Amino acid sequence: MNRRNFFQKAAVSSALAATSFSTFGNEFIQAIDKAPKSSAPSDLKITDIKAGYIRGGHSLFVKIYTNQGIVGHGEGVDATPGTYHLVKSMGRRIQGQNPLNVHRLFETIRKSGFFEGAQSGMYVAVLTAIETALWDVAGKALGVPVYQLLGGKFRDTVRVYMDTALYQNQLPKPEDFAKAAREAVNMGFNAVKFDLDQGNDPNKYDRFNWTASPAELQRMYDQMAAARKEVGPNIDICADMHGRYDATTGERAAKILEPLGLMWLEEPIPAENTDAYKKITASTSTPICAGENHYLAYGFRPLLESGAVDIIMPDLQKCGGLGEGQRIANLANLYYVPFAPHMVASYLGAMACAHVCASVPNFMIMEWQIYFHKDPMFKEIVTFKGDMVEKNGFIRVRDEPGIGVEINEEGMKKYATPGVPFFE
């Protein structure tokens, strides 16, 4: 090789090297450009909390915003009308803090409201919606479903019962009960619930005295007997009295319904008197269920310690949230009491509840509403992938990060409660 050939080859090599180095790392740079620009989870901060209401204010939806663009969704029910400013007040207490510290933020809000009603009612219902949204943020930030944050799952699917919404103010007849039971079974459900309280029952002596007359008790039996006859012995049926009767009637109703083998008789009397519940439960073989009007794990302790009920049914959209719901279930598990949560929310609330049901060993069954199938509003107000319910009476717990269901503000807007700010 002479000097001229050497320098010619060196020049060619330099040109090739220059070309290679000009493209070296391009794919890596492109990958960086495509990657999310979120900061580390430790730098995640709450920037705002907004709320929207539907159903006359009885359904509260909360969105928690963060500095990384992650938004969490939560829901509260029943004890929520008139609570817009309470949502904003609680939001200010945790603004600027890391939403991944769910339990810490829950306690921050709860303990700061010790003299504001933080033991039950509206305060806890609003806190519930916020706590649920915090879990949703945490799941999305860490890329895992909520059940994983709760310690993992015992089951992939959650059994649900159909609440037929066959309201007694329509004065349904036994044949209406039979028809509703058959419809639920034909839809694939293997458990059905009916309401038995009837304020306008023509056999009622006094609208304010909730001692049932013999004719009222017979009406209750005839209605439930028609449902049992229609679907046979292998379908679970249960009845709800909405806490509207006295203890005497609760005992008599539970006794007269014993031959029908109910899954449970729900809240025959109001929530406040544990001793009265214990007396009813001890008097009958019909399982007695209560809890939708109890708040926090503290509210369930007396029921469980005294053996006042056979089954507990906290409402995870107002009892304190998903973490509190799991605490209640685990507390009940120490007493071998099944956990069967009440659920009258949207599909967002239903799936949030399902994550808890999947995460505890003593889960029995969860409430499901006929309105999911008949009222288009409930599909318009949320967004999700796939179907709500499988054909065999179970719902599959979602594996997307967070809850797996989100609020659709545009779909919800036309149902918003008049006179209340909407996600402002």
Going by pLDDT thresholds of 50, 70 and 90, the confidence category of residue 6 is: very low
Mean pLDDT of the 134-138 span: 98
Read off φ and ψ for residue 407, nearest 5 degrees.
-75, 135
Query: Is the pLDDT assigned to residue 10 strictly greater than 70?
Result: no
Mean pLDDT of the 203-215 span: 92
What is the chain's percent helix, strand, coil content, to nearest 5?
Answer: 45, 15, 40
Query: Is the pLDDT assigned to residue 106 strictly greater than 70?
Result: yes
Which positions ≥6 away from 119 have C-beta within 8 Å?
Answer: 295, 296, 298
* % of residues, the chain, pLDDT over 90: 85
Mean pLDDT of the 131-145 span: 97
Query: Is the pLDDT assigned to residue 37 strictly greater than 50?
Result: no
- pTM, two decimal places: 0.89
Mean pLDDT of the 310-326 span: 98
Check residue 378 and give its pLDDT: 96
Mean pLDDT of the 172-198 span: 96
Mean pLDDT of the 337-355 span: 98
Mean pLDDT of the 98-125 span: 96
Instruction: Classify domain 41-143 at the CATH topology level.
Output: Enolase-like; domain 1 (3.30.390)
3-state class (DSSP) for residue 75: strand
Check residue 2 and give its pLDDT: 53
Amino acid at site 356: V
Q: What angle do CA 289, 290, 291 make, to 5 degrees?
A: 145
Q: Where are the domains of the chain?
A: 41-143, 148-400
Check residue 39 and give its pLDDT: 57
Check residue 41 and give its pLDDT: 82
10 Å Cβ neighbour count for 144? 15
Rounded Cα distance, 156 and 171, in Å: 39
Mean pLDDT of the 200-221 span: 93
Least confident of 23-27, 42-46, 89-93, 246-250: 23-27
| DSSP label at residue 55 | G
Mean pLDDT of the 213-238 span: 98
Q: Could you tell me the two tokens for 278?
A: 């214990």
Rounded Cα distance, 381 and 170, in Å: 28
What is the CATH superfamily name and number for domain 148-400?
Answer: Enolase-like C-terminal domain (3.20.20.120)
